[in-house]
């Protein structure tokens, strides 16, 4: 068996920042530390933090007054911020700056009198947060068919935005449908699908051509991980989305000589390495790293945390490790 290890893969700059923020916040404030929604959409990461004293909540009512609450990488709506403030909760905002950028674009378009069409997945934390910024001025479309059903009166000023973790190809088709239906629609200078989503999809698109099957490390609720598995299947390859080596079933590999391994933006590198070790052990796999692009993006810790860290020394990050360790360029 040959294993192709795709790069870029795994933690993006936003996830690195969010995970390191939670690590540092637990060290500075101590448990319990509340987190609004999963810090990132990855079960093993969430479980590891739960064991260290993080409490993940779905509503602000679950957080006691005076407690510390972190907002996850996917961002929150202004209504949640207001509710936290009214409840006397101390907040740390670990929203990815690339998600914040979409919020700001939505606010700006709404201020300029546009109705906004957001291309995204209903119920995703990021979509809920973005739509909450401009309630009443924004509608969601998930498919090309949804575009056909839009019923804006003639002359409505329209703008579109996208979720950061969409399939590049699907988003392109929906944006094209929007432009065909509403020739005057405007959008951001560059679409909002983030660099990490685009790079991981590019790697799967190119490298799956050399593989018989694809393993994607990532949780089933991770949008960008799901898109990687879908992309591999669209290329005609068998693909499995797994949380870690424990999910591997050896019969999957019958008749498959070359396996591409990649990881969604919220999947930790140690689980990738666990899968590689298992395939080396079981099938004597030869491992080859294949990089299609370098990544050097890095985001700083949230302001509230930086301030707190001036009084407390930073602790060595126990979960995230150095970005270089999980960086594709290092493989």
CB of 329 to ligand SF4, least distance (A): 16
Query: Whose Cβ is closer to ligand SF4: residue 11's or residue 182's?
Result: 11
User: Sheet containing 33-36: which strands, arranged edge to edge?
Assistant: 54-57, 33-36, 68-71, 90-93
Give the angle subtended at the CA of 251 by the CAs of 278 and 255, to the nearest 5°.
100
Helix H or strand E segment including 260 = strand 258-263
Give me the least distance between CB of 254 and ligand SF4, in Å please. Answer: 34
Q: How many residues bind ligand SF4 (CB under 6 A)?
A: 15
With 0-12 / 13-18 / 19 or more C-beta atoms within 10 angstroms meaning exposed / middle / buried, residue 320 is buried
**265 interacts with ligand SF4 by CB under 6 A:** yes
SS3 of residue 3 by DSSP: strand
C-beta of residue 43 within 8 angstroms of C-beta of residue 217: no
Q: In the annotation, is 126 catalytic?
A: yes
**Secondary structure class of 326 (helix, strand, coil):** helix
**Which single residue brings its beta carbon nearest to ligand SF4?**
14
* Closer Cβ to ligand SF4, 84 or 165, answer by number: 165
* Stretch of 8-16, 42-50, 183-191, 305-313 lying at the interface with ligand SF4 (CB under 6 A): 8-16
Does residue 129 bind ligand SF4 (CB under 6 A)? no
DSSP SS3 for 153:
coil
Phi, psi of 321 (to 5 degrees): 70, 180
Neighbours of 65 (CB within 10 A): 9
Q: Which residues contact 283 (CB under 8 A, 6 or more apart)?
A: 1, 253
Among 3, 12, 118, 275, binds ligand SF4 (CB under 6 A): 12
Tokens of 85: 């403030």
Kindly name the residue from 126, 133, 269, 295 that is annotated as catalytic. Answer: 126
Site membership for ligand SF4, residue 98 (CB under 6 A): yes
- The contact mask relative to ligand SF4 for 194-233 (x = CB under 6 A, - = no) is x-xx--------------------------x---------
The 291-320 contact track toward ligand SF4, x by CB under 6 A, reads ------------------------------
CB of 23 to ligand SF4, least distance (A): 16
Which residues make up the interface to ligand SF4 (CB under 6 A)? 12-15, 73, 96, 98-99, 164-165, 194, 196-197, 224, 265
Cite the active site residues.
126
């Amino acid at each position: 068996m040959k294993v192709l290890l795709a790069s870029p893969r795994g933690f993006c700059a936003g996830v690195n920042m969010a995970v390191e923020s939670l690590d540092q916040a637990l060290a500075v404030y101590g448990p319990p530390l509340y987190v609004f929604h999963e810090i990132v959409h990855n079960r093993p990461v969430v479980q590891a933090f739960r064991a260290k004293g993080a409490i993940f909540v779905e509503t602000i009512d679950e957080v006691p007054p005076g407690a510390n609450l972190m907002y996850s990488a996917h961002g929150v709506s202004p209504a949640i911020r207001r509710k936290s403030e009214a409840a006397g909760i101390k907040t740390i905002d670990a929203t990815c700056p690339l998600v914040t950028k979409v919020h700001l674009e939505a606010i700006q378009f709404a201020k300029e009198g546009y109705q906004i069409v957001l291309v995204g997945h209903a119920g995703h934390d990021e979509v809920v947060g973005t739509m909450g910024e401009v309630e009443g001025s924004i509608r969601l479309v998930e498919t090309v068919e949804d575009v056909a059903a839009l019923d804006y009166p003639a002359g409505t000023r329209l703008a579109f935005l996208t979720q950061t973790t969409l399939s590049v190809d699907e988003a392109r088709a929906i944006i094209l449908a929007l432009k065909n239906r509403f020739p005057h629609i405007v959008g951001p200078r560059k679409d909002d699908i983030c660099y990490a989503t685009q790079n991981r999809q590019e790697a799967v698109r190119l490298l799956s051509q050399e593989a018989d099957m694809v393993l994607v490390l990532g949780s089933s609720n991770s949008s960008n991980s799901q898109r990687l598995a879908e992309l591999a299947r669209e290329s005609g390859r068998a693909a499995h989305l797994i949380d870690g080596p424990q999910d591997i079933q050896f019969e999957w590999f019958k008749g498959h000589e070359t396996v591409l391994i990649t990881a969604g933006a919220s999947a930790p590198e140690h689980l990738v390495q666990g899968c590689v070790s298992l395939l080396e052990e079981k099938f004597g796999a030869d491992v080859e790293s294949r990089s299609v692009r370098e990544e050097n993006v890095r985001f700083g810790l949230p302001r509230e945390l930086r301030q707190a860290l001036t009084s407390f020394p930073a602790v060595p990050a126990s979960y995230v490790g150095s970005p270089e360790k999980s960086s594709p360029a290092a493989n």
